[in-house]
Amino acid sequence: MTITITAFERSPDRGRGLARDMRVRWALEEAGQPYEVRLLSFSAMKEPAHRRLHPFGQIPTYEEGDLVLFESGAIVFHIAERHAGLLPGDANARARAITWMFAALNTVEPRIVDLESARREEHHKTWHEERLPILQDRVRDRLDELCSRLGDADWLDDAFSAGDLLMVTVLRRLSGSGMLEDYPNLSAYVARGEARAAYKRAFEDQLAVFTGNPPPG
Ligand code: GTB
């Protein structure tokens, strides 16, 4: 059955692979599953036809026969459950990998998104300069904790899993902020994820969308 996902027609990240279709593309590549991509403009995302797939009018979505999913974490979990390569066979190791998936999305990503949103949407507010260091410290607290836990291990729990896939994509959102560079083991961890063949294929595919369809101006 054909798998179709949705992605930005013109990603504001200019092909840096920071939008959330990247994690779904990467998971599908790790699982060896071919897929098609339907590109959407910002206005098309808010049309009823797309809202029937995604109640919040966002990307990514995932269609496979009758099944329609939204939420990148749920999509990655679905792929990981149905195909080898993203979750360990051992029940306890599998539960731990799923725990790291939730940790990436619930415990680390929100603080990074708060910082991004403040930079993007609140920079003109009188209180922005005061609030920014508070948000940066909140991100650093999480990075300190993650750095301690990872130590000199390659992955969060023994073998690479969907937990690492999500955590790497979450940490990549800090690229350009200069914050990750203070944590050599986390930088190396992200680089390890980016060096995987499946990651590279996914990255090139989303980059080709931008290259073939650059934003005006
Ligand atoms: N919780 C949902 C999920 O995990 O799937 C969140 C989905 C989401 O935020 N989608 C964003 C979207 O559709 C794209 S990824 N936004 C359009 C809208 O809400 O109208 C977020 C994103 C966008 C841009 C960059 N960037 O330019 O660097 C990075 C991340």
pLDDT tens-place string over residues 114-142: 999 999 999 998 998 999 999 999 999 99
Q: Is residue 136 part of a domain?
A: yes
Region 40-55 average pLDDT: 98
| Distance (Å, whole) CA 188 – CA 184 | 6
Ligand 1 center from residue 153 Cα (angstroms): 30
Pocket of ligand 1 (CB under 6 A): 12-13, 18-20, 45, 57-60, 71-73
Ligand 1 atom nearest to 75, measured from its CA: 5
Q: Is residue 158 part of a domain?
A: yes
pLDDT at 155: 98
* Statement: residue 214 has pLDDT above 70: no
Q: Which of 7, 16, 2 is nearest to 63 (CA)?
A: 2
Ligand 1 atom nearest to 45, measured from its CA: 20
Q: Is residue 45 part of a domain?
A: yes
Domain with residue 22: its CATH number is 3.40.30.10
- pLDDT above 90 as % of the chain: 94
Ligand 1 center from residue 59 Cα (angstroms): 6
What angle do the packed helices 21-30 and 162-172 form, to 10 degrees?
150
| Distance (Å, whole) CA 104 – CA 109 | 6
Q: Is residue 207 part of a domain?
A: yes
The verdict on 78 and 103 lying in the same domain is: no
Torsion, CA 186, CA 203, CA 24, CA 137, rounded to 10: 30
Region 54-60 average pLDDT: 98
Nearest CA to ligand 1 atom 18: 58
Domain count, the chain: 2
| Distance (Å, whole) CA 176 – CA 156 | 24
Can you give the pTM of this predicted structure? 0.97
pLDDT at 81: 98
* Statement: residue 217 has pLDDT above 80: no
What region, left, alpha or beta, does residue 85 occupy, with left being phi > 0 and alpha being psi -120 to 50 degrees? left
Ligand 1 atom nearest to 20, measured from its CA: 15
